[in-house]
Amino acid sequence: MNKFLKGFLCIIGAVFAWSSLEVTGSYIFAEGTGPVTMLNIRFLIAAILFGITILIQKKRTGENLFLVKREDISRFWLNGFLLALHLVTYWFAWEILDPNLPVIYAIFYMYPFVLCLISIFYYREKFNKNRKMALGLGTLGALFAIEFLPTFSMEGLRLDGILLDVAACFTWVGYLLVGQGIMKKYNPLTIVFYDFLGRRLLNIVKHFP
């Protein structure tokens, strides 16, 4: 199996896994579980699965992906904090704005536009014609895909839910930017393992008597 096919299958699997989060989240909320409880369970499961994957990788290749340099620990903590903040704000927004899913998605998926603005004004990258077309067509296609266009409903809209969704968008941008810097030195498995493990340990410490 060549690298292209492996990458393609991984993308398909990631899309399937990510889309299942919304479905399972709706069922969990319907049963009366709160966003924080649901996220804590997900953090624990994710940390265990990523840890097992790293151990398997170590056994196969001898590479220890658990190792992090001391000077980078603070960056890992920041990355995990931003991810946790993003997930908490996103799921609270979901709980408040449900069933108006188009609005939830439309606000959150502004993040490519925000990233584009940051790349232009902060990193001084050129906003060329191809980037304009990609951003415009991608945004328009996303709005149609989530049924924000051609219809729009004000049902269930609340200001606190909208603000939480905007916060989820910007915390996700922060997470991507910090993670991008870390990824230049570390394997993605190392990053996501400590993201979820750190958030889980923080929650345990917070509730320790």
Q: Where are the domains of the chain?
A: 15-109+146-206
Indicate the SS3 state at residue 87.
Answer: helix
User: For residue 52, what pLDDT band results from cuts at 50, 70 and 90?
Assistant: very high
More confident residue, 194 or 108: 194
Query: How much is the pLDDT for 94?
Result: 79
Q: Is the pLDDT of residue 200 over 90?
A: no
pTM, rounded to two decimals = 0.72
More confident residue, 65 or 95: 65
Quickly count helices (H) and strands (E) in the chain: 8, 0
Query: How much is the pLDDT for 157?
Result: 73
Q: Is the pLDDT of residue 201 over 70?
A: no
More confident residue, 207 or 123: 123
Beta-carbon contacts of 13 under 8 Å, excluding residues fewer than 6 positions away, are none
Do 21 and 45 meet the contact criterion of CB atoms below 8 Å apart? no
Query: How much is the pLDDT for 162?
Result: 86
Mean pLDDT value of segment 92-108: 77
The CA distance from 119 to 125, in Å, is 6
Q: Is the pLDDT of residue 58 over 80?
A: yes
Q: Which of 34-43, 64-73, 79-88, 197-206 has the highest mean pLDDT?
A: 64-73
Q: Is the pLDDT of residue 149 over 60?
A: no
Indicate the SS3 state at residue 201.
Answer: helix
Neighbours of 20 (CB within 10 A): 10
Q: Is the pLDDT of residue 209 over 50?
A: no
Indicate the SS3 state at residue 174.
Answer: helix
- Cα Rg of the chain (Å, integer): 19
More confident residue, 37 or 143: 37
